[in-house]
Amino acid sequence: MTDIWKHEPTDAILEKAAGGERITPDEALEIYRSADFLKVMAAARAVRGRMNDPAVVSYTLFRIVNYTNVCAAACSFCGFHCPPGDPAGRVL
């Protein structure tokens, strides 16, 4: 049976990581930029299965409770802040 998947340059890096070898920062960046997401998930599953019981999966919940929407940083990407003194500002 022939391989139906195209062999991508990042496949060797993913195989290296899945096999337990460390990858370099440049290799990690290459995976981030151009690796097939399904292949990245498969490699991550292989690493998890090697390091933990494959029958057990856990997740981390990352929650940030914002007690206020008042902020003086004025980041260009933020869509919820109010500058100090704004009547729409709130504090829990």
Give pLDDT tens digits for 24-34: 999 999 999 99
Supply 1's token pair.
């049976």
Tell me how long the chain is.
92
Residue 3 has pLDDT above 70, yes or no: no
Tens of pLDDT, residues 40-62: 999 999 999 988 898 888 777 77
Tens of pLDDT, residues 60-87: 777 777 888 898 887 888 877 888 999 9
R_g over Cα of the chain: 21
How many C-beta neighbours within 10 Å does residue 39 have? 18
Q: What span, in angstroms and rounded, lies between the C-alpha atoms of 81 and 83? A: 7
Kindly report the pTM of this predicted structure. Answer: 0.56
